[in-house]
Amino acid sequence: MIGPFARRRLALGVAPAIVPASAWLLLGVALGPSGLDLLTRDVLAHLDAVVTVALGTLGVFVGLALAPRATGAWRLLTAAIVESGATAAIVAGAATLLFRAWHLPLAGAPAVIVLAMGAAAAASSAGAADEGRTDASAVSVADLDDLLPILLAAAACGLTAPEGIGPAAALGTAAAIGTVIGIVGWLLFERTAGDAERGVFVIGVLSLIGGVAAYANVSPLVAGLAAGLLWRRAPGSADAIVAADLRRFHHPLVVLLLAVAGAQMRLTPLALFLLAAFVVFRLSGKVIGGVLASRLTRVPGDLLGALLVSPGVIGIAIALNIQQVAPADGTPLVTAVAGGTLLFEMLALLLPREAAA
């Protein structure tokens, strides 16, 4: 019974994996400074650049898979935005009230953590086992709700410094970086004949997306998303070229992000508070968001809410991105989101077969 439920896509555009995200998170904890210390703090610092490229690549996966292709796709995308927006609003609003009431010791702007918590909580994953047993629109809503969290996280990046460029400018800058580099990549991919040479160009373009976004202190996820959307819509076969070259990186990419997140976990009073708030209010948000989204689909609200329980990898990617731009507050956020992922995946496994399907 556990095997089929563990087989989840974890993010839009990422191939399903048999091993659940929680296993790789626990492996990261075991190998990190809190465990065997094989992933030392110095090693994790050196992996930061790799994580940045991985975040941009994850954004590309989402962008390539996001373009609506079926009848009613826009309705499902609207339902996904309603569902994820409701969850983000509930989590961010509740966290704001608690921060003000309890005067928590945050190193940076509370708005960054509040917005990032809402964004990370809004993401969900759809299980491969759900397909074929559940209305396809329910799986689509669970997939498509990755979009809004990525955009909200980009806005949070714009709030990370007192002289920050602002949420709108941060979002626009990241999208512009992805679009410009995407155009360069499209021109290179279409004019290259050999598979090996194309592969080099694909890896180079992905590295450029992540590196430029990190240099500009904006979201690599949005930059990759913009590039993926452009390749999907551009004439020619750029999307097929990129998808074919990246197919072998689906699972290593996810494993890298999850293991690094596990190794970064630090149990502090602030992290435990964020974890409690994340779990309680995300669960409430998913239930309410599922009911609201069900009005735009033919799926019962309780069934849709059950399907949305598992967070996937997008929330962890958002937390890692915030940690890069705001390390002091980002580490408690990574701990909260990673811990919440562990708890929600266990909850998803315990759901009755009829409800989780």
Give mean pLDDT, residues 320-329: 86
In the predicted model, what is the mean pLDDT of residues 97-101? 85
Q: Does domain 21-351 have CATH number 1.20.1530.20?
A: yes
* pLDDT, position 106: 66
pLDDT one-digit tens code per residue, 164-222: 678 889 999 999 999 999 999 998 887 777 777 777 888 899 999 999 999 988 999 99
pTM: predicted TM-score of the whole model, two decimal places? 0.90
More confident site: 110 or 300: 110
Query: Which residue ranges make up each domain of the chain?
Result: 21-351
pLDDT computed for residue 131 by the predictor = 44
Per-residue CA distances from 102 to 65, 96, 98, 105 (Å): 42, 10, 6, 9
Burial 185-205 (b: 16+ CB within 10 A, else e): bbebbeebeeeeebbebbeeb
User: Do 205 and 181 meet the contact criterion of CB atoms below 8 Å apart?
Assistant: yes
The 10s digit of each residue's pLDDT in 44-85 is 988 999 999 999 999 999 998 886 555 567 788 888 899 999
